Amino acid sequence: CLSCSPGRARRTNASRRALLLARFSDIYTRERLDAETILRTYISDMEMVQRIIYIAAVESFRAAKMAYMQFKVRVRETLSLGHSGPESLEDTVLDYIVRHEDLYDVQASVNEVIHSMNVNPKISFPPEIDFIVISTLIRELCRVAFSMQTLIPPLDLAFGTDGELFCETKYHRSFDSDFTAALVSYHVWPALMEDDVVIVKGEAVTKI
């Protein structure tokens, strides 16, 4: 409605977006490398280590987005009972979520991610250990992914498949890539999208 004042979430959108993009880059340089170091103590195959981390990122976003949708439904149901304005119900719901992001049960998402990774046929892990060893990376990814759903528009990962055509606008090639290869052998880190436009490049390995 025309008389509706924009909610706090909308007014802080640009600054929250900038913080989340910085945090996503931080995770790439810090938590990702920490996870790599941890995994290397169990797995000698670097390709498998990088595949595990990429899948952890994809699964974390998937779990956090599901959790966000469920959280939003509950908040909307509760707030709609007494909602009168001046903001739209959608804005009021968004403001509430942004103010109460600490109510997000991140541990439930972490458990969900670890479970789905343990049954993922594309990655293997010595049976005596569990993907819980990289739960710090998973937790931070879930947190940032959840917060990215509160942005207008929300941010999401680009979909990547092994064997896809390498795309310069979507990925950097890893230093150990074959730079003449046209196809992605596997992904190291996902690209970040806003309205189907890549805003942060991912990383991929190309091999002949």
- Amino acid 53 reads I
Note whether 146 and 104 are within 8 A (CB): yes
Residue 196 backbone zone (phi > 0: left; psi -120 to 50: alpha; other: beta): left
Rounded CA-CA distance 30/88 in Å is 39
Quick one: which of 52, 29, 160, 187 has its CA closest to 114? 52
pLDDT band at 125 (very low <50, low <70, confident <90, very high): confident
Q: pLDDT value at position 43?
A: 93
Mean pLDDT of the 186-202 span? 97
Mean residue pLDDT of the chain comes to: 93
pLDDT band at 1 (very low <50, low <70, confident <90, very high): very low
Quick one: which of 22, 16, 4 has its CA closest to 88? 4
Q: How many residues does the chain have?
A: 208
pLDDT band at 8 (very low <50, low <70, confident <90, very high): confident
Q: pLDDT value at position 2?
A: 38
